[in-house]
Amino acid sequence: MSNKFRKKIFFFLPLLLICLSLPGCNTTKTVSTVPSPVPTQSPVKESGGVPLPTQEDVVRTFINLISEKRISEAVGMMDVSDESEKQGWGVQLNSFDKISLKNIEKNGEDTFKVTLTVKMSPNSANGPIPYYGYENGDNIRWIGLKKGSDNLWKITGFATSP
């Protein structure tokens, strides 16, 4: 290496390190696989003035939690109280290697028709229903919702038809 080249590296390397350590210089970006929620109804506000999530927001959040493998939080969004039913849902939701929301549309008062793009775990072939009825690729499901006593929407389940 020439002395001229070494001097340039000696000058620019510390400068680069300083720049990368400053806020706003980091080029790392977080990319979400699910589109941002678009409210489908005017937001209802709690007494504190904070808007409650819309039904569509709840469905999007639910799918995101499954995608992020935050299964206990996803099950917590469901209208289930029996511990064995929660465990059953947990096992089923853990069977997705990948899941993303491709499309969502309102289908009735408290139901959404969704297109989910999934990749199932090979272990789910041994489930009570092989792959829990999903195929790798796009799957259409209907997700039901119910308003809870806390005035928040809960997921009632998945169905293969309305």
Q: How far is CA 113 from CA 91, 106, 118, in A?
A: 23, 6, 16
- The Cβ of residue 128 has, within 10 Å, a number of other Cβ atoms equal to 9
Instruction: Dump pLDDT digits (tens) for 42-90.
Output: 455 555 677 889 999 999 999 999 999 999 999 999 999 899 999 999 9
> From the CB of residue 100, how many other CB atoms can be counted at a distance below 10 Å?
18
As a whole number of angstroms, the distance between CA 31 and CA 43 comes to 26
* Ordered structural domains, the chain, with CATH: 52-159 (3.10.450.50)
12 pLDDT more than 90:
no
Distance CA 67, CA 60 (A): 11
Q: Which residue in this structure is represented by tokens 């009825």? A: 133
Comparing 47-56, 90-99, 101-110, which segment has the lowest mean pLDDT? Answer: 47-56
What DSSP assignment string belongs to 80-142? ---HHHHHHHHHHHTTEEEEEEEEEEE-SSSEEEEEEEEEE-GGGGGSSSGGGG--SEEEEEE
pTM higher than 0.85: no
Average pLDDT over residues 24-47: 45
Mean pLDDT on 99-113: 97
